[in-house]
Amino acid sequence: MSEKDGEPNGEQLDAEPTEAERIDAETPGVDDAGELEAAEAEVAEDAQDDEDKVVATPPRRRARGARPAGRPTESGRTGEGTRTRAEAERARAAELRRKRSIGRFLREVVAELRKVIWPGRKELITYTTVVIVFVAVMVAIVAGLDILFAQGVLAVFG
């Protein structure tokens, strides 16, 4: 009989099975070890692609020695001339003037006040009443403690 009939021929009985034949025998449903290895490689590649999607990795790496524009080289120069001290001070003064502008301050105040949700008349009366009652209760507590401590001091030091 031949190998196709399910019985090995005489030559194969003496020889040890190859690695591919051993893998074929161990994995049911897979006819070829090469197919299995290709499928495993594809699964591993898909897993790597999925991992790259989850972990933020840069899409391209720069060529060795390439520098982005404006970044200093080893010597500390960006390729552009450095500003003079006077230019730097003028820029700093202009920034301070821009920040300290009264007109800008007032514009920002008005912008913030427009964002405020103003209470209606009924809410305003309720809030005012609550504040007045709370302040009156606190004044009464402080006044009572003041009188109590004053009498205690007079009793002790007479």
Question: 8 near 21, Cβ under 8 Å?
Answer: no
pLDDT at 154 (0 to 100):
95
Could you report the per-residue pLDDT of 5-30, keeping only the tens digit for each?
555 555 555 678 787 677 667 766 65
Average pLDDT value over all residues in the chain: 77
CA 110: distance to chain centroid?
A: 33
- Of 110, 105, 130, 106, which is closest to residue 119 (Cα–Cα)? 130
Which has more confidence, 15 or 55?
15
Cβ burial of 11 (10 Å; 0-12, 13-18, 19+) is exposed
Q: What percent of the chain has pLDDT over 70?
A: 63
**Cα 54 from Cα 48, distance rounded (Å):** 10
Q: Is the pTM of this model over 0.75?
A: no
